[in-house]
Amino acid sequence: MMHELPVSAYTSQEWFDLEQKHIFSKTWQFAGLVEDVANPGDYVSVQAGLNNIFIVKGRDHRLRAFHNMCRHRGTQLLRAVGKAQKAITCPYHDWTYNLEGKLVSIPKKEEEFPDLCDKELHDCGLNLHEASVDIFKGMLFVHPEKNAPNIMEFFGEVAPYLGPHIPEELIEYKEKKQAPFYTKEINANWKIIVENYIDQYHLAHLHEGTLNMYDHAKAEFGWAGSHYHFYEPLVPAYLADIKNASPYPLMDKMPDDKMGAYVPWLFPNIGITESESAWNTFHAIPLAPDRTLVVIRSKTMNVSEWEYTKQYTKSMASSVWKTMGNKGKYEGEASDPMASGDFMLEDVYACEQQQKSLSSPLFSVGAQAKKGEFAVSKFQSVVKEWIENHQD
Amino acid sequence: MSEFHQLKVLEVIKETEDSTSISFKVPQELYETFNYKPGQYLTLRFTINTEDVRRSYSLCSSPVIGEPLCIGVKRVKDGLVSNHINNNIKVGDLVEVMKPDGRFFADVKKENYKTYYLFSAGSGITPILSILKTVLFTEEHSYVHMIYGNRSEDSIMFKNTLDKLQENYKERFILEYTLSRPKSSWSDLWKTSKEQTYRKGRVDTAAINWFLEEYPPYAQNAEYYICGPGTMIENTTKALKSIDVPDERIFIESFGGSNLKDTTEAFENAQLIAKLDGETINTIIPKGKTVLRTLIDAGKEPPYSCEAGVCSTCRCKIKSGKVHMKINLALTDQEVEQGYILSCQSIPLSNQVEVVYT
């Protein structure tokens, strides 16, 4: 056993399929950031568990979501992102729907489908299947049901524990155009990655030289609804020089007395890292029992390039970074994740090393840190609940 | 159904030059009866110059914050009742009031997460104000985006209340005033930018397109509530529909005032067969009378309140024959298709009309 779940939950195709069906196809799923569908006609499509769902913005500036599937033969209608004018046409036989999902045209209807339906096309029961879409904290979420439970019932309890950041006011930081800040396929089950994210106990150890600008001893964390919340302040030395040392311009919404990092995990698979100078989404997408794609999108203050340059220069000169934030746990080549001085590489390494052991006949979890790892078993029990409650 | 209760006037406040708000005291034994949903109205009955007259006024109070029932009444030019109320009603008066009714209301629930678009003009603010207060107070996650049209700054009803709500609920409540004839004066030249600014124009297509683009919904379950004079309702509805706002998300309360001339001729002296309270009434509809008036004149008691095609209290179902509704601001297309009519607006088009009140 891991804690609440059997080891097979982390290794078997059977469990992977159960989760796809009962968790990822029945919960609000992260679908991007609000600005991804900024203007009427803009759309994005996302895989949410077993469903492919697209979101389109109507001319009334309200979002609609539909299952991305032609009602004729099931062909996927839209590709990843784009702009639809007034209608959505299936590439296969040109069946066409309006932006309300209503069927408006079938080529050669009279000759080919004389018996289909004698009513107007949109009353023929062949409109696109509706799904739900909503916004939470500047993020888009989709739900495969038309009458989904409202998103605040799902996230409402954790909302008061999130950071003061207003993501809509920030701008996305990208190294390359059209690419998120960070993507990485990790050789570990998605739950291993979540458990690493919500494990406070490891911060002072795995990341002793990389996240030591945060005061782990003062971390405040807990569980709200189905979600994990976490906050920790900066260490005094970093706080004292924060105006210079911060790598990017400081978040204007961050109060001086609560300067730190908010790092919640929203069930099932989206984390947010809300720090003094950046706001990131951390999306863990299960690909296989032992493979997970992590996509991080990063937003920072909406200020001029010049402000960034000034801040960078000041940060480089700050003595804070001589002792904090970039020293690997071990000495060695920079290619060794444990010597890299990069906390992401350290986490990936730890997750993959744990996954490797899961197939050992001797594997077991020996003990659980009462406080620092409480969230790990809590998370597992929520996973278990979803699977058990939904199984027929 | 059409039972009146005597309520005592608790407070009379002059809201603007030509409008007044009246609060009523509801005795404890009538609490249940006078329970209401935000958006509903009261029907008042007066005897003015020996004539028995009824008018419906939307409640502007909220049922959830422990305030007395309150209506707002704006003078209508040559209006019999609105001027009577504005001129004569004083604290302590007894007024005959029917229990709250109306199908224009918001189904407010604590757990809702919605964006409410509220469009109002003139005294159309009354039911909108009730919805506004109730939503802000009850639904802690929901947003309200409101545009309120008036002739000039002086004619804005409940401005203090609105401004206070905006101050208290800054994060969830957007309020824009738009004025069709703003008063300008020399002193404008010395205005500081800090002073309140108003959009210029009516609540029309341009205003609505601007408003929705400027303030897109955050919670995506958006609903659109409209209340004002007929043309404002027509314009707003048309504007919303033209940008694909679905019908089922639009809610309308009309305060009459449609300018369209209706010249449909009635079938003279048609026979009326009406089933009402278990009785079958057989009579003739005199020229110029509606189905409802014919029944009232015959000494019967059909349900009704506004007599303006707005409230649907007088709704009945047509079994045979044909009628024409002069105004229908209450029934949906679907209801009309199912044979429902507003008896207060129906004149016969066939020699015989058979209706059933249920």
Give percent above pLDDT 70 in chain A. 98
Task: Check whether A43 has a pLDDT greater than 50.
Answer: yes
Choice among A68-82, A296-310, B338-352 with the minimum mean pLDDT = A68-82
Based on the fold, state whether residues B310 and B223 are members of the same structural domain: no
Residues in chain B within 8 Å Cβ distance of A37: none
d(CA A263, CA A271): 7
The CATH number of the domain holding residue B207 is: 3.40.50.80
Task: Check whether B77 has a pLDDT greater than 90.
Answer: no
DSSP H or E stretch at residue B274: strand B270-276
Whether residue B151 lies inside any domain: the answer is yes
Non-local (6+) Cβ contacts of B79 within 8 A are: none
d(CA B46, CA B49): 10
Based on the fold, state whether residues B239 and B296 are members of the same structural domain: no
CATH number assigned to the domain covering A29-147: 2.102.10.10
Phi, psi of A361 (to 5 degrees): -60, -25
Which of B67, B101, B135 is the endpoint of a domain?
B101
Tell me the per-residue pLDDT of A282-293, one tens digit each, with 9 for 90 and over: 999 999 999 999
Residue of A nearest to B112 (CA): A150
Residues in chain B within 8 Å Cβ distance of A225: none
Based on the fold, state whether residues B64 and B181 are members of the same structural domain: no
The predicted pLDDT at position A53 comes to 97
Looking at the partner chain, which of A63, A100, A156 has a beta carbon nearest the beta carbon of B220?
A63
Based on the fold, state whether residues B70 and B135 are members of the same structural domain: no
Whether residue B107 lies inside any domain: the answer is no
Outline which parts of chain A fall under CATH 2.102.10.10.
29-147
| Sign for the pseudo-dihedral over CA of A3, A390, A227, A24 | positive
Non-local (6+) Cβ contacts of B116 within 8 A are: B106, B131, B132, B135, B142, B143, B144, B145, B146, B222, B223, B225
Task: Check whether B3 has a pLDDT greater than 90.
Answer: no
Domain hosting B12: range is 4-101
Task: Check whether B262 has a pLDDT greater than 70.
Answer: no
Distance from CA of A389 to the nearest CA of B (A): 23
Whether residue B145 lies inside any domain: the answer is yes
Tell me the per-residue pLDDT of A136-159, one tens digit each, with 9 for 90 and over: 999 999 999 999 999 999 999 999
Task: Check whether B192 has a pLDDT greater than 60.
Answer: no
CATH 3.40.50.2300 fits A166-390, yes or no: no
Residues in chain B within 8 Å Cβ distance of A61: 212-213, 216-217
Based on the fold, state whether residues B227 and B330 are members of the same structural domain: no
Query: Is B217 in contact with A58 (Cβ distance < 8 A)?
Result: no
Task: Check whether B250 has a pLDDT greater than 90.
Answer: yes
Q: Are A247 and A312 in contact (CB under 8 A)?
A: yes
Higher pLDDT, B1 or B2: B2
d(CA A31, CA A65): 11
Residues in chain B within 8 Å Cβ distance of A142: none
The CATH number of the domain holding residue B284 is: 3.10.20.30
Looking at the partner chain, which of B111, B221, B244 has a beta carbon nearest the beta carbon of A60?
B244
Tell me the per-residue pLDDT of B279-338, one tens digit each, with 9 for 90 and over: 999 999 998 889 999 998 888 989 988 777 777 889 999 999 999 998 887 888 888 999
Whether residue B128 lies inside any domain: the answer is yes
Q: Are A81 and A36 in contact (CB under 8 A)?
A: yes
Residues in chain B within 8 Å Cβ distance of A150: 111-113, 221
Query: Is A150 in contact with B221 (Cβ distance < 8 A)?
Result: yes
- Helix spans in A60-214 (H): 109-112, 151-155, 190-197, 203-206
Q: How far is the CA of A55 from the CAs of A58, A132, B115, B216, B223, in angstroms? A: 10, 9, 18, 15, 19
Looking at the partner chain, which of B218, B220, B244 has a beta carbon nearest the beta carbon of A133?
B220
The predicted pLDDT at position B68 comes to 96
Task: Check whether B259 has a pLDDT greater than 50.
Answer: no
Tell me the per-residue pLDDT of A208-241, one tens digit each, with 9 for 90 and over: 999 999 999 999 999 999 999 999 999 999 999 9
Tally of domains in chain B: 3
Residues in chain A within 8 Å Cβ distance of B141: 152, 156
Query: Is A135 in contact with B220 (Cβ distance < 8 A)?
Result: yes
Which of B202, B220, B254 is the endpoint of a domain?
B254
Based on the fold, state whether residues B233 and B325 are members of the same structural domain: no
Outline which parts of chain A fall under CATH 3.90.380.10.
166-390
Question: How many beta-carbon contacts under 8 Å exist across A and B?
Answer: 45
The predicted pLDDT at position B189 comes to 59
d(CA B167, CA B253): 27
Task: Check whether B18 has a pLDDT greater than 60.
Answer: yes
| Sign for the pseudo-dihedral over CA of B198, B204, B209, B212 | positive
Tell me the per-residue pLDDT of A339-369, one tens digit each, with 9 for 90 and over: 988 999 999 999 999 999 999 999 999 999 9
Res. B159 pLDDT band, cuts 50 70 90:
very high
The predicted pLDDT at position B260 comes to 47
Residues in chain A within 8 Å Cβ distance of B219: 134-135, 152
The predicted pLDDT at position A325 comes to 85
Task: Check whether B276 has a pLDDT greater than 60.
Answer: yes
Which of B101, B134, B149 is the endpoint of a domain?
B101
Q: Are A345 and A333 in contact (CB under 8 A)?
A: no
Task: Check whether B256 has a pLDDT greater than 70.
Answer: no
The predicted pLDDT at position A174 comes to 74
Residue of B nearest to A134 (CA): B220
Q: What are the helix and strand counts (H, E) for chain A?
A: 11, 19
Which positions in chain B have a beta carbon within 8 angstroms of at least one beta carbon in chain A? 111-113, 141, 212-213, 216-222, 240, 243-246
Distance from CA of A74 to the nearest CA of B (A): 26
Looking at the partner chain, which of A58, A60, A151 has a beta carbon nearest the beta carbon of B113?
A151
Residues in chain B within 8 Å Cβ distance of A60: 212, 222, 240, 243-245
Based on the fold, state whether residues B145 and B235 are members of the same structural domain: yes
Residue of A nearest to B222 (CA): A62
Whether residue B95 lies inside any domain: the answer is yes
The predicted pLDDT at position B193 comes to 52
- Please state the ipTM of this predicted complex: 0.85
Tell me the per-residue pLDDT of A64-120, one tens digit each, with 9 for 90 and over: 999 999 999 999 998 777 776 678 889 899 999 988 899 988 988 888 888 888 788
Residue of B nearest to A137 (CA): B218
Distance from CA of A346 to the nearest CA of B (A): 38
Could you tell me which of A27, A88, A8, A96 has the C-alpha nearest to residue A55? A88
Query: Is A61 in contact with B212 (Cβ distance < 8 A)?
Result: yes
Res. B53 pLDDT band, cuts 50 70 90:
confident
Residue of B nearest to A64 (CA): B220
Please give the average per-residue pLDDT across B46-61, as a whole number. 89
Task: Check whether B258 has a pLDDT greater than 50.
Answer: no
Tell me the per-residue pLDDT of B199-233, one tens digit each, with 9 for 90 and over: 999 999 999 999 999 999 999 999 999 999 888 99
Based on the fold, state whether residues B285 and B308 are members of the same structural domain: yes
Distance from CA of B241 to the nearest CA of A (A): 9
Looking at the partner chain, which of A62, A63, A150 has a beta carbon nearest the beta carbon of B112?
A150
Query: Is B243 in contact with A156 (Cβ distance < 8 A)?
Result: no
Query: Is B219 in contact with A63 (Cβ distance < 8 A)?
Result: no
Residue of B nearest to A139 (CA): B218
Based on the fold, state whether residues B97 and B119 are members of the same structural domain: no
